[in-house]
Amino acid sequence: MEVKERKLAQRAWTMYDWANSSFATTVMGAILPNYFAAYIATEGALTLWGYTVAIGSLIAALISPVLGAIADFRASKKKFMAFFIGLGVVSTALMFFVDQPGDWLLASILYILGTVGFAGSLVFYDSLLPHVANPDEIDQVSSRGYAMGYIGGGLLLLINVAMIFLGPSLLPNMDETEATKLMMRLSLASVALWWALFSIPIFKRVKEPVRMAEEQELGQSVISVGFQRFFKAIKEIREFRDLFWFLLTFLVYANGIGTIITMAVAFGTDLGFGTMILIGTLLMVQFVAAPFAILFGKMSKKLGIKKSITISLVVYSLISVVGYFMTKEWHFLLLGFGVAMVQGGSQALSRSLVGQLMPKSKTAEFYGFFSVSEKFNTVIGPFLFSIITQITGNGRLAIISLVIFFVTGILMLHKVDIERGIKRAQEEDAKMIAVH
């Protein structure tokens, strides 16, 4: 790939972070959790939301590896990606019709379907990263993607916050509460349009990677090979010692990160914090996180990727401890700034590290396993959060329990040998042949 062509492909690739992050910010992080807790769930909102998040992520995690294996064999990453984008866009658009107290089941179903679409598309999106970036570029391209995501998701969230804030004055003949609810529903629907529109560049500029297969797979059906690769990957992933260990490591610390992302607004609502401070904090996180994501990409060149991730996990541990003592709205804002400093960097570097440790011939397959680790971060963590909150009646204990995920992650990360992992991935690629 020529330099100019590669740079255009990289820009188009990062644009999908801009597109899909609207779902992460408005639907997963800010508007829907608040709307769900304040207007839809009549009781037990924090617990119901935790279970909803967990179920959606579990389904997404379970289907990802098989789909990845099939997509690798068929050279159909972009087709699968388009399907899941469509599922996410349609589900999100339909959230507009969740408008009555007690409609929590409809809201939960649409959220679960939207999450499957969002997470499924990311498997194939992430799998394209090693094909658009050279090994010496991958940390920086991944970090730019996250930065674009924070800016894009933040920009739409800013528009959404303005809509909600101005709703009662723009609709003077409507009851203030009903006007606010309408604007929140329109905000959810706006995500569908944003997501669909800004997904176009990746399909225009990024080429489908060359189909790679083992000789004995030629002539077999795609479904057969897909499941064969899936079960083979389960057996063989331990041969990729460092990739396997990093996936387990990521599974552990990402549970803490995912729980903070998905439960923060619901937790703040439970503490009685106002809607605008909650959403405003998340909005601030989006724009502050963008330059920090870029900074972490540069820092990894100087300190190394393992040390950079470790720094982010230390900060997350401190956030969890301080979160236990949170009582005032400005505390929430301060902790939000702390999250912004490390959120993008930890995620971007994790994505790029797993891309370095996997064979390029099986990127969707192994990013499917990465997705299992990534999506279980919003299964185990929120589920544990809900259980602790339900048993103790105290969400503070759930917050401080997240320290366990971060400290354990730091200890496990120390055992990953990056150079050895890269060498093993290269050995696997050498066995494959191009299929035209």
Q: Enter the DSSP assignment of 173.
A: T
In a domain, 210, yes or no: no
**Nearest-CA neighbor of 210 among 290, 117, 130?**
130
Q: How far apart are CA 153 and CA 376, in angstroms?
A: 23
Instruction: Give the chain's mean pLDDT.
Output: 84
In a domain, 209, yes or no: no
pLDDT for 223 equals 58
Does residue 73 surpass a pLDDT of 70? no
pLDDT for 118 equals 92
Q: Is residue 427 within 8 Å of 210, Cβ to Cβ?
A: no
Instruction: Give the CA distances from residue 431 to residues 42, 213, 424, in Å, rounded to whole numbers and listed in that order.
Output: 58, 9, 12
Does residue 110 surpass a pLDDT of 60? yes
pLDDT for 8 equals 92
Highest mean pLDDT among 30-34, 63-67, 132-136, 154-158: 154-158
pTM of the prediction? 0.73
**Nearest-CA neighbor of 211 among 323, 71, 389, 95?**
71
Rg of the chain (C-alpha set): 21
Structural domains of the chain, count: 1
Express each pLDDT in 261-272 by its tens digit: 777 777 787 788
In a domain, 213, yes or no: no
Written as one string, the DSSP assignment of 214-257 is: -GGGTTS-HHHHHHHHHHHHHHHGGGSHHHHHHHHHHHHHHHHH
Among 51-60, 90-99, 102-111, the minimum mean pLDDT is found in 51-60
Higher pLDDT, 313 or 296: 313
Task: Return the number of other C-beta atoms located less than 10 Å from residue 424's C-beta.
Answer: 18
Q: At 71, is the pLDDT very low, low, confident or very high (cuts 50, 70, 90)?
A: low
Residues spanned by the domain of 319: 3-201+222-435
Does residue 133 surpass a pLDDT of 80? yes
Q: How far apart are CA 98 and CA 185, in angstroms?
A: 8
Token pair in block for residue 436: 């035209």
Express each pLDDT in 74-89 by its tens digit: 667 888 899 999 999 9
Highest mean pLDDT among 144-148, 267-271, 432-436: 144-148
User: How many H-runs (helices) and E-runs (strands) does the chain carry?
Assistant: 19, 2
pLDDT for 393 equals 78
Among 98-107, 112-121, 179-188, 254-263, the minimum mean pLDDT is found in 254-263
pLDDT for 264 equals 77
Q: How far apart are CA 184 and CA 32, in angstroms?
A: 8
pLDDT for 310 equals 95
In the numeric block, the tokens 């939000």 are attached to 336
Q: How far apart are CA 55 and CA 60, in angstroms?
A: 9
Does residue 233 surpass a pLDDT of 80? no
Looking at this protein, which amino acid is placed at residue 113? Answer: L
Q: How far, rounded to the nearest angstrom, does the alpha carbon of residue 397 sit from its chain's CA centroid?
A: 25
pLDDT for 218 equals 53
Q: How far, rounded to the nearest angstrom, does the alpha carbon of residue 173 sit from its chain's CA centroid?
A: 40
Q: What is the mean pLDDT of residues 193-201?
A: 97
pLDDT for 12 equals 94
In a domain, 206, yes or no: no
Q: What is the CATH number of the domain that holds 150?
A: 1.20.1250.20
Does residue 115 surpass a pLDDT of 80? yes
Q: Which residues contact 219 (CB under 8 A, 6 or more apart)?
A: none
In a domain, 399, yes or no: yes
For 144-158, give one letter per residue: b (16+ CB within 10 A) or e.
bbbbbbbbbbbbbbb
pLDDT for 182 equals 94
Q: How far apart are CA 80 and CA 97, in angstroms?
A: 27
Q: At 374, is the pLDDT very low, low, confident or very high (cuts 50, 70, 90)?
A: low
Q: How far apart are CA 169 and CA 182, in angstroms?
A: 13
Q: What is the mean pLDDT of residues 85-106?
A: 93
Does residue 364 surpass a pLDDT of 90? no
Q: How far apart are the first and last CA of the chain?
A: 17
pLDDT for 230 equals 64
Q: Is residue 305 within 8 Å of 353, Cβ to Cβ?
A: yes
pLDDT for 386 equals 78
Three-class DSSP category at 433: strand
Q: How far apart are CA 329 and CA 284, in angstroms?
A: 14
Does residue 368 surpass a pLDDT of 90? no
Q: How far apart are CA 205 and CA 182, in angstroms?
A: 37
**Nearest-CA neighbor of 344 among 145, 157, 153, 155?**
145
Task: Return the number of other C-beta atoms located less than 10 Å from residue 396's C-beta.
Answer: 17
